[in-house]
Amino acid sequence: MTAKDLRSLLYDVPDNSEIVILNENAPIKGAVPVYQTFTFKADAGSKVVLMYQSKNGKEGTK
């Protein structure tokens, strides 16, 4: 996904909405909030990284 794609998906989302990440194999209650983002630059261009926390190094929660 490009930044343009993400911006178009979020165009109508209110500014104060919480953004969460959901693994496609996880139940909806396993969605976890993004707690940090950062951008790094490589030879091929910039990349934005969305980070989230998980319990015991596993995705999602019970």
pLDDT for 54 equals 67
Checking if the pLDDT of 57 tops 70, the result is: no
**Is the model more confident about 24 or about 59?**
24
Neighbours of 21 (CB within 10 A): 15
Interval 10-46: pLDDT, tens: 899 999 998 888 888 877 777 888 888 888 887 777 8
Residue 61: band (very low, low, confident or very high) from pLDDT cuts 50, 70, 90: very low
